[in-house]
Amino acid sequence: MHQQERPLLTIKNLNKQFGCGCSHCRDTQGHNLEDNYCPVCGTVYACRNVSLKVYPAEILGVVGESGSGKSTLLRCLYFDQDSTSGEGYIHGYNEGRTNIFTETSQQKNYIRNHLLGMVYQNPYLGLRMNFSSVGNIAEKLIGAGNRKVDFMAARAQELLAAVNIPTYRMKEAPEKFSGGMQQRVQIAKALSNNPPLLLLDEVTTGLDLSVQANVLDLIKVIQRDLKIGMIVVSHDLAVIRMLTDRTIVMLNGRIIEHGLTDQVLEDPQHAYTQQLVYSLL
Amino acid sequence: MEEIIRITGLNKYFELHNQNKRIRGCQDINLTLHSGGFVGITGRSGSGKSTILKCIYRTYLPKKGIIWYQSQIYGEIDLAQATERQVIHLRKQEIGYVSQFLHVMPRTTAREIVEQAVLDVGYDIGYARTEAVNILRHFELDEGLWDTYPNTFSGGEKLRLNIASAMVKKPRLLLLDEPTASLDHESKKNVKVLLEKLKNEGTSMIGIFHDLEFMEGVCDREFAMETGDFVI
């Protein structure tokens, strides 16, 4: 009989707001908001009671329109932004017993450097554009406690080769690369510490079709060969259909629907998801 | 013989919120399938045949009813209520679905598609490679096509690959949604041979076929559908 599965990541009631809130918007379950914005005090409720689980070697898709809270969710998970409230547990950290959002900055850095990888839509956020590609990867490895130059150089070369960066260009700075190459260097950097969880934020947006295809292939290979769990944020339903088994749909900071990806796309339940699916397919 | 599927009072309709409409899928479906059995469903287009299969496979969320399934990994389970993760595991290891259309990862070769199906069940790469070759050969897919991408294939070739990747897993339950619709006579014969082989090996099947002649000799029981209900 099947054993109970342990999630790699569990998020419970994650909230992120920009602004302090006021009596008009606080504790009203969002009834007084315009979408996710308080017209009185200007507070934006970017993530509201977001709960989700990611299992080992699984790719979870997150879809929704611009401003729905998808990227904020990832940035809270990667500690780029502090969450306002909520709980998060990673299986590889204190056996999933400690809320990662209430940890010290030092511990958050540890989690980020050892257990997470992040690929941003904008490579400028994930790479040091004037460092060499090898240097970018070494930076992440140093963050994870590595000090051996030979090891770091070899690891960087191995990863850059895996993402198809030609050997003779590995020492070049990403600022000289095309958008697709920059994304691939970002992916190599994110993978360098063998994270069990990879966060991918609109990684194919803005790339031309053939470059997009290369990046998608690479993600699928990583999932298949390295068995890494991933959260893939995208507003492109074709990308979600291709990569993911399960999908959540966000609107105005909330998860309004979740399900098996084929079910969400073929039998959407929520009015917004129906509108999204019927307009794009 | 033990039951593997028992569907009771299955109802499915589609609520289109933005058009304020409700579309009927199927209603009050009761169906039993015994282990190693083959049930055929016939009926006009739009009568709800595929809806039943998609509810079992959970591509559609049933509105009412129970889809009781005797699983190897979970024991007795109601597929209408199963969690997303349970359904994912069942799809990978026990339940196969073949439609008329091939949905695959682009830029994946025919050989890789079939191998991946075997790997999903948990077998090693060596076994997956052997099984992939055997089944591609059985379906007489030109060897020159094995390492190419299926988007260049003809309709019949795509379909044969689609059936091959579902059958290679030797699923416990196989759902067939008009898989032979656009196949030539020879390919249909190959499908039939393999279906009979799978049946003999214990795979239980529910299939939709327009070709009544094809169903003869394969199906143990046949249900005819009329706008959402069974007519027996």
Residues of chain A falling short of pLDDT 50? none
ipTM (interface predicted TM): 0.90
Q: Choose among B59, B74, B75: nearest Cβ to A262.
A: B59
What is the predicted pLDDT for the residue at B43?
86
What's the pLDDT tens digit per position in B81-95? Answer: 999 999 999 999 999
What's the pLDDT tens digit per position in B192-203? Answer: 888 888 888 889
What is the predicted pLDDT for the residue at A98?
97
Check CB contact under 8 Å for A5 and B85: yes
Q: Where are the alpha helices (DSSP H) in B122-201?
A: 125-138, 155-167, 185-200
∠ CA B61-B18-A260 to the nearest 5 degrees? 25
Q: Choose among B18, B75, B105: nearest Cβ to A1.
A: B75
What is the predicted pLDDT for the residue at B99?
82
Entry pTM:
0.92
The verdict on B63 touching A (C-beta cutoff 8 Å) is no
What's the pLDDT tens digit per position in A112-141? Answer: 999 999 999 899 999 999 999 999 999 999
What is the predicted pLDDT for the residue at B229?
62
Check CB contact under 8 Å for B84 and A275: no
Q: Which residues of B touch A1 (CB under 8 A)?
A: 73-75
- Across the A:B interface, residue pairs with CB atoms under 8 Å apart total 53
Check CB contact under 8 Å for B84 and A258: yes
What is the predicted pLDDT for the residue at B113?
92
Nearest CA in chain A to B87: A260
Task: Please say whether the dihedral angle defined by the alpha carbons of residues A139, A144, A147 and A152, taken in this order, is positive or negative.
Answer: negative
Nearest CA in chain B to A54: B85
Check CB contact under 8 Å for A266 and B54: yes
Q: Looking at the predicted structure, is the pLDDT value of residue B232 above 60?
A: no
Average pLDDT, chain B: 89
What is the predicted pLDDT for the residue at B185?
83
The enclosing H or E element of A118 equals: strand A116-119
What's the pLDDT tens digit per position in A77-97? Answer: 999 999 999 999 999 999 999
Percentage of chain A modeled with pLDDT above 90: 70
Q: Which residues of A touch B87 (CB under 8 A)?
A: 260
How many CB atoms are closer than 10 A to CB B197? 13
List the structure tokens of B230: 């069974």
